[in-house]
Amino acid sequence: MNLKDPESMNVVIGNVLRYGVLLSAAVILFGVVLFAAANGTSDSSTMLRYFPNQLPHGIFPVSYQSLVGGLVEFNAISWIQLGAIFLIATPVSRVLISVFLFAAEGDRLYIVITAVVLTLLLFSMLVTPFIPGFNA
């Protein structure tokens, strides 16, 4: 594919989005199968209890360690969380790849615009959750 051809941008971005959602859906579905195997039809409504005065607010863990540990142990919750992370990462990868696609087209103005969007996006996703006073 010739990346200088403006039409190739539509194809590449379309594919990034398509494969991102398919991967995410497959991982979530795998988590659902694990969940059904582990819990059957037993009542799991304790999962829906919300604790306003503790962090995290749910009874399911959200740390990096618990996620990795859970994946290794084929924990259903961890696999569903991984699928959600893939879903969240899909638009981010789309912005990242757009920077390179505009670079291939030689469109300097849009390289800058897209790089600024990417920087703001990563700052907002990864940094602001840990700045005291933000998101309070």
**Least distance (Å) between residue 130 CB and other proteins:** 8
DSSP state letter for 60: S
**From 71, 103, 104, 110, residue interacting with other proteins (rule: CB under 8 A):** 110
**Least distance (Å) between residue 23 CB and other proteins:** 11
DSSP state letter for 110: H
Binding string, residues 47-86; x marks residues near other proteins by CB under 8 A:
xx-x-x--xxxx-x-x-------------xx--xx-xxx-
Q: What distance in Å separates the CA atoms of residue 64 and residue 71, rounded to the nearest whole number? A: 11
Instruction: Give how far the C-alpha of residue 96 lies from the chain's centroid of Cα atoms, to the nearest Å.
Output: 14
Q: What distance in Å separates the CA atoms of residue 25 and residue 86, rounded to the nearest whole number? A: 9
Q: What distance in Å separates the CA atoms of residue 88 and residue 90, rounded to the nearest whole number? A: 6
Q: Are 1 and 11 in contact (CB under 8 A)?
A: yes
- Residue whose tokens read 């390179």: 100
**Residue 37 sits in the site that holds other proteins (CB under 8 A):** no
Binding site for other proteins (CB under 8 A): 7, 9-11, 13-15, 17-18, 20-21, 24-25, 28-29, 31-32, 35, 39, 41-45, 47-48, 50, 52, 55-58, 60, 62, 76-77, 80-81, 83-85, 87-92, 94-95, 98, 109-110, 113-114, 116-117, 120-121, 123-126, 128-130, 133-136
